Amino acid sequence: MNKINAIVLLRGLMREHRHWGDFSEKLKQSLPGLPIVALDVPGNGDLNEEKSKLNIHDVSEFLHQCMQQRYGKNYKVAIVSISMGAMVALDWANSFRQHVLAITLINTSVAGYLPFYRRLKSQNYYKILKALFSGIEQRERLILEMTSNQKIIPERLDERVNIAKSAPVKRINFIRQLISAARFKICKQPDVAIQILYSKNDNLVDPKCSMVLAKEWGVEVAETCDGGHDLTLDNPDWVLQQFLIFYKGLN
In this predicted model, what pLDDT tens digit does every residue of 4-14 receive, in sequence order? Answer: 999 999 999 99
The contacts of residue 21 (CB under 8 Å, 6+ apart) are 232, 233, 236
Which domains does the chain possess?
6-250 (3.40.50.1820)
The contacts of residue 30 (CB under 8 Å, 6+ apart) are 240, 244
In this predicted model, what pLDDT tens digit does every residue of 37-91 receive, in sequence order? Answer: 999 999 999 999 999 999 999 999 999 999 999 999 999 999 999 999 999 999 9
Query: What's residue 192's pLDDT?
Result: 96
Calculate helix-pair angle for 171-183, 125-132, nearest 10 degrees: 150
CA 208 to chain centre: 17
Q: How far is residue 101's CA from residue 76's CA, in Å, rounded to a whole number? A: 7
Q: Report the predicted TM-score, pTM, of the whole model to 2 decimal places.
A: 0.94
The kind and range of the H/E element at 84 are helix 84-95
Tell me the one-letter amino acid at 199.
S
